[in-house]
Amino acid sequence: MAARGHVQDPNDRRLRPIYDYLDNGNNKMAIQQADKLLKKHKDLHCAKVLKAIGLQRTGKQDEAYALAQEVAALEPTDDNSLQALTILYREMHRPELVTKLYEAAVKKVPNSEEYHSHLFMAYARVGEYKKMQQAGMALYKIVPKNPYYFWSVMSLIMQSISAQDENLSKTMFLPLAERMVEKMVKEDKIEAEAEVELYYMILERLEKYKEALDVVRGKLGEKLTSELQSRENKCMAMYKKLCRWPECNALSRRLLLKNSDDWQFYITYFDSVFQLIDESWTPPPEEEHSLEGEVHYSTEQAVKFIEERITEESKSSRPLRGPYLAKLELIRRLRYRGCNDEYKLGDPEELMFQYFKKFGDKPCCFTDLKVFVDLLPSSQYTKFISQLLAVIPLSAAAEGELALPSDIKALQQHLCVVQLSRLLGIYHTMEKKQKLAVVRELMLRYRHGLEFGKSCLKTELQFSDYYCLLAVHLLLDLWLEGEETAVWQCLTLLEEGLSHSPSNAQFKLLLIRIYCRLGAFEPVAELYSSLDAKHIQHDTIGYLLTRYAEALGHYAAASQSCNFALRFFHSNQKDTSEYIIQAYKYGAFEKIPEFIAFRNRLNSSLHFAQVRTERMLLDLLLEANISTSLEESIKSMSLSPEEDDIPWNDLRDNRDLTVLFNWDPKDRDISEEHKKLSLEEETMWLRIRSLTLRLVSGLPTLSHTIQPKNSEKTAENGVSSKIDTIRSLLQQLEVAVDSGKKFLEQKIQYPVLGPPPTRMAGFFSNGSCQCQTSLFYLVSDIYELDTNGLEDSAEIQERIGNSFKSLVERLTDLFNKCKGDLIEVRDGTLKTHPSLLENLVFFVETISIALWVSSYCDSVLRPFKSNLQKKKKKKKESSLAMPPVFTHFLDYVTELQTLTSNVIDHIKGLEIILTALKLEELSLKDTLLLEEEKKFTKTVQGKVQSSYHHSVQEIGELLKKRLDTIKKLKI
């Protein structure tokens, strides 16, 4: 804000101190200074706006808005006021007000280029594409500059993209945009590369591929210079669309002659060769093969071409991987097609062996070969690995000792072989003893490899980190096979690895997953924050945090992790608008639809919907009827039972489920099927949570005065429609629960490093689901009692009484499923029971819903009771019988109070046990553990113990607050 235009303007001098205060964050002084200035100069509009900015930043939004509207009503045209108002409206998240501001300014100063361009950008912020088109043309008429004309053209394209009707887009918007550009082409007014790009984009969207190709190959195409091979890539794309395989082949061949390491052109080359073979294409006699030159149309030519590339490569100054991998790719394609020509290229096993000899010391060697291992017959796996090991220079210090690499190159080669062994499933077939021996060997190699990384910075990874990771993967296999100690060894080795390589994200991610599996969330929060997740990562890996924080009773951390994610999603809206404006300014037109698609993808993110829903449920859990009433809490969240803001049909799963490195064979790895099932499960669970939230938000809407049942106003006052909403939501909840149960019947097991399962299974098995559903049915019965009155409602009262009884029984059952030791020591090893912790968390949530429903019952029964007491006084009868519903309710509240007190006592008991747990006495006699490992094992077990203690404390605190609200429920 500090840079101002007209230094000579005395007003600028007067305003300068206010700008400085605002820039330095001293908002109170800015307000005072503005007030002083306004006393002397009442008509200084900008001072008012700057005061409003100060008020906005000190939390006085309403005052700020009123002041801003005062100035806006005067339709200012001075630059200072307009810029200050723009800043203010942006901070208020009201970009639509900026458009009104500049619309007025443009009317008053119709020839101002600056105001017209500000108006255009204001429309861009709110996505008013039609008005942008008009503003662009108005600008072009005042100042005939090409960029303004093309702003208008781009706005037409945006109208076509956002149009619901694709037909309208292709028959009106795009042809109009095409005509506008053609006019400039005919007049020879095309100046910049961006303008050619735009023309190409229009033709491509109109599917006029032939014309687009002519543009790129013609004179205009010469302007496409900013990207490497931009012209060739565009030609290639059009040839593919037009199925002109000869040109595709000739162009990719020509580009490979220039650079034989460009993988994308090998793929196009092979695609086109096999397309031509399938079409039995032959070159035309006595003519050029194609527009792009010579064409290869047989397997022989392809084999010869690749061999030539390899011969060329051997002469090059630096080794190139492309030609060698291309040979393997060609073998794979020939094999897939059932051709017998692959023998001409050689044996894949030998080729991979030669590739390893040439590139084995590069970290990419494993990922390169991974793609082609299915060319090896499974009977050859062990022989192939032995063959690779034989060429690695390893040396043993003494006979019988482990042969170790003497330099980093040998270490990389050996690592590559170990990774391939895991990928080929060699480790999976081993016995437990062999696996443990391999773990020990890998850790010895890991520690030896640390010597090569002594000079590494903290931010650099150690060369031997993968040994440690692979050892952990082997131990995870053992854990899944029922070896309980293995999981503690995993954590021990990872913590040790992290101490040597503090920036290794893989160690941290694996630690996060394992701690969460054990039910310990406390260490996870710190690990996740040290990952320093940026921007889009809050959506792609945020699930690792938000899935477990609340489920394991860390309410404060859950709140914080939801805030992190929500802050990113909300700022995305504002940021994307700014990116779009920059793209217009710098003519990066092809990026604009990408930014819009990015914004839409984030808005319909599954994680965003989950975090929003869980955050609101969590806030209600922590605050409703504790620090504020349920009604106020719901009002502050702008929640309404009728509204559902989740885009169910467009939900996008943006989670990165392959963020953890994995060397498992295909049959054990995470598959597309797993991803699909996980999305299905997450969506079902989200639906249940969303409906629960909406049902809770409907409770306060029922607690308003209700007309007697024969009054005609019932439908008008909207309350009867409210109960209909509740009943409709209840039916939807029943359907969602049924589909969830059916889904769980499939008993899906995700890989250990695959997507974490939702909380749905626990929700059904521990009885929370039945409890919560019964509570919402009870609401419907209480409402009926409210409309019918006490006189002729004996049946409803009995039904309510029975509901109260069964609810207490169900809640008691749920409590029984929370009993047991959270951490137990068995045969000298620790065993955690995270499911008990999750059940406790569900119990707290269910009891909270029970209390919100009880508050509703209370609000209905209280007026009835006071009316009865008035009648008693009038008739002076003491024998007037109390309706049974009062007794039922009082008994129910008393039993709730007793149950909650029992749970609090149980939690106190758990705290005492957890505090008394002496982990030092655990026998760390396991021969596998070295002295330095024992130190890390103690740390790990201490972290798990501390985390459980923390969880139990937070759950206990919350339950105590809930107990206080139960005590207030005596009618």
Average pLDDT, the chain: 89
Give Cα 22 distance to the centre of its chain. 35
pLDDT grade for 934, boundaries at 50, 70 and 90: confident
φ/ψ of 515, rounded to 5, equals -60, -40
Q: Which of 673, 676, 671 lies closest to 658, judged by CA? A: 671
**Could you report the per-residue pLDDT of 892-906, keeping only the tens digit for each?**
999 999 999 999 999
DSSP string for residues in 868-936? HHHHHHHHT-S-PPPPHHHHHHHHHHHHHHHHHHHHHHHHHHHHHHHHH--GGGS----TT--HHHHHH
Q: Which two tokens stand for residue 652?
A: 């996008």
Q: Which two tokens stand for residue 174?
A: 């795009």
State yes or no: pLDDT of 579 exceeds 70: yes
826 beta partners: 829
Instruction: Please state, in angstroms and rounded to a whole number, the distance separating the CA atoms of residues 845 and 619.
Output: 11
**Could you report the per-residue pLDDT of 347-406, keeping only the tens digit for each?**
899 999 999 999 999 999 999 999 999 999 999 999 999 999 999 998 877 777 888 999
Bigger pLDDT: 498 vs 880: 498
pLDDT grade for 928, boundaries at 50, 70 and 90: low
Minimum mean pLDDT range among 341-350, 810-819, 956-965: 341-350
**Could you report the per-residue pLDDT of 520-576, keeping only the tens digit for each?**
999 999 999 999 988 899 999 999 999 999 999 999 999 999 998 999 998 887 888
**Could you report the per-residue pLDDT of 596-644, keeping only the tens digit for each?**
999 999 999 999 999 999 999 999 999 988 888 889 999 888 888 998 9
Q: Which two tokens stand for residue 219?
A: 């004179």
Give Cβ neighbours of residue 88 (< 8 Å, ≥ 6 apart). Answer: 49, 52, 53, 56, 64, 68
Write down the residue that tokens 């063959």 correspond to.
387
Do 937 and 488 meet the contact criterion of CB atoms below 8 Å apart? yes
SS3 state of residue 971? coil
Q: Residue 94 is inside which H or E element, if any? A: none
pLDDT at 879: 55
pLDDT at 337: 86
**Could you report the per-residue pLDDT of 28-43, keeping only the tens digit for each?**
988 988 888 888 888 8
pLDDT at 227: 85
Minimum mean pLDDT range among 173-177, 364-368, 781-785, 789-793: 789-793
Half-sphere exposure of 816 (CA within 13 A, CB side): 8
**Could you report the per-residue pLDDT of 89-121, keeping only the tens digit for each?**
988 888 899 999 999 999 999 999 999 999 999
Give Cα 330 distance to the centre of its chain. 38
pLDDT grade for 715, boundaries at 50, 70 and 90: very low
Phi/psi-derived region of residue 355, left when phi > 0, alpha when psi is between -120 and 50, beta in every other case: alpha
Pairing of strands 823-826, 829-832: antiparallel
DSSP string for residues in 724-761? HHHHHHHHHHHHHHHHHHHHHTT-----TTSPPP-SHH
Do 752 and 480 meet the contact criterion of CB atoms below 8 Å apart? yes
State yes or no: pLDDT of 198 exceeds 70: yes
Phi/psi-derived region of residue 835, left when phi > 0, alpha when psi is between -120 and 50, beta in every other case: alpha
Q: Which of 355, 358, 393 lies closest to 375, judged by CA? A: 355
**Could you report the per-residue pLDDT of 436-478, keeping only the tens digit for each?**
999 999 999 999 999 999 998 999 999 999 999 999 999 999 9
**Could you report the per-residue pLDDT of 236-281, keeping only the tens digit for each?**
999 999 999 999 999 999 999 999 999 999 999 999 999 999 999 8
**Could you report the per-residue pLDDT of 523-535, keeping only the tens digit for each?**
999 999 999 988 8
Pairing of strands 404-405, 394-395: antiparallel
pLDDT at 927: 46
pLDDT at 652: 94
Q: Where are the alpha helices (DSSP H) in 391-504?
A: 408-423, 432-449, 465-480, 484-500
CB atoms within 10 A of CB 365: 23
Q: Where are the alpha helices (DSSP H) in 206-347?
A: 209-217, 230-241, 245-258, 263-278, 299-315, 322-336
Q: Which of 411, 512, 406 lies closest to 464, judged by CA? A: 411
State yes or no: pLDDT of 717 exceeds 70: no
Give, in degrees to the nearest 5, the angle at Cα 660 between 658 and 665: 75
Do 381 and 388 meet the contact criterion of CB atoms below 8 Å apart? no
Give, in degrees to the nearest 5, the angle at Cα 694 between 693 and 697: 90
Q: Which of 784, 779, 787, 783 lies closest to 804, judged by CA? A: 779
Instruction: Please state, in angstroms and rounded to a whole number, the distance separating the CA atoms of residues 494 and 510.
Output: 8
> Residues 204-233: what's their mean pLDDT?
92
> Residues 653-666: what's their mean pLDDT?
92
Q: Residue 149 is inside which H or E element, if any? A: helix 146-162
